[in-house]
Amino acid sequence: MLVVEDGTEYEEFANTFLGARFLVVAAHSATEAIEQLRSRSVDALLVDLRFERAPSDLLVGDVDATARRLFGGDSVRALRWIKDQQGTLVLAEIRKAGFRQRAVFVHDFPSERLKNLAKLYGDVHAVPGFDAAAIGAVLDARPRVPA
């Protein structure tokens, strides 16, 4: 399983509760994620949505273009939007690079938004919280409890 996030919380969660089923590797940007996907066999993606802690130079998305397109030139709001959506922008890059693995977000998307993401990015699922049983069910894996 490839975990893509801006911290280490998903990786620790996946190792603790899904580690019996998956060897967990982590990436912290789209570039790192694609490098990992090119260098090893990956069955599934667990993707954070908000990357509020990531340095701007690691983010996917053009702040100035987004500011012009969506926020009347307001680059502060544009950067916030890019960070808030970063997981989907990273997934777009992963798909563009040709990788189609099942992706799971830990996020409570409105159903219409999730349908739209699936339309854009294929095999995309979402689980509202850090629920190992639900994520395991989506990934056809059983969570474990550490001894």
Sequence-ordered list of residues with C-beta below 8 angstroms from that of 125, at least 6 positions apart, any chain: 102, 103, 104, 105, 114, 138
User: Which residue's structure tokens are 């894996």?
Assistant: 141
Backbone torsions φ then ψ of 61, nearest 5 degrees? 120, 135
64 part of the interface to other proteins, by CB under 8 A: no
50 binds other proteins (CB under 8 A): yes
- 108 is an interface residue for other proteins by CB under 8 A: yes
Amino acid found at 98: G
Please tell me whether residue 13 binds other proteins under the rule CB under 8 A. yes
Among 2, 3, 17, 78, indicate the residue that binds other proteins (CB under 8 A).
17
What burial class does residue 135 get, using C-beta atoms within 10 Å of its C-beta: 0-12 exposed, 13-18 middle, 19+ buried?
A: buried
Residues in the chain: 147
The verdict on 16 binding other proteins (CB under 8 A) reads yes
Cβ-based nearer residue to other proteins, 7 or 95: 7
DSSP letter at 139 equals: T
CB of 78 vs other proteins, minimal distance in Å: 13
Does residue 107 touch other proteins according to CB under 8 A?
yes
Q: Which residues is 83 bridged to in the sheet?
A: none
Contact (CB, 8 A) for 4 and 49: no
Residue 95 makes contact with other proteins by CB under 8 A: no
Q: Tell me if residue 106 falls in helix, strand or coil.
A: strand
The interface mask with other proteins, positions 112-131, x = CB under 8 A, is ----------------xxxx
Closer to other proteins by Cβ: residue 37 or 87: 87
Residues of the shown chain interacting with other proteins in the complex, contacts defined by CB under 8 A: 7-9, 12-13, 16-17, 49-50, 52-53, 80, 84, 106-108, 110, 128-133, 143, 145-147
